[in-house]
Amino acid sequence: MSLKSRLAADETLFTAWSGVPDALTVEIIAKQGFDAVTLDMQHGGHHEDSVLRGLVPVLAANKPALVRIPVGRFDMASRALDFGAEAVIAPMVNSVDDARQFAAAMKYPPMGERSWGPTYAFPRHGKGDHAEWLRDSNQRTMAFA
């Protein structure tokens, strides 16, 4: 069950928060009793490579992954989704323009400007049809600001 559907069902969820950019540490966290795992690029030590490597054990544990991107780095939102995250947290969205940029990076056209490239996410989420993936992605992914 996706993160979005669980939240829509009014389920209370607890996410582990990882600031340590180490896949083994993330794997240990993912195997605990948390409902989801968040990888923190804003205040934590995670960077693009550690997010890619850290999402592997989270998804292998069949848990939703969230990524908190650095302030103003909306380009990292689409990268996090391409890597397999279900949700992205954008800190310090302080203007309408910030919100528009973030939303555009999160969704494929016509809802946004995200470009095609889910090299990692597509096979990890078990979809076999690219058109179906494109339709479902805009509905499944979540943006938190």
Catalytic residues: 43
What is the C-alpha separation between 114 and 2, in angstroms, rounded? Answer: 21
What is the four-CA torsion angle of 126, 101, 104, 45, rounded to 10 degrees? 0
The two beta strands, 36-40 and 15-18, are parallel
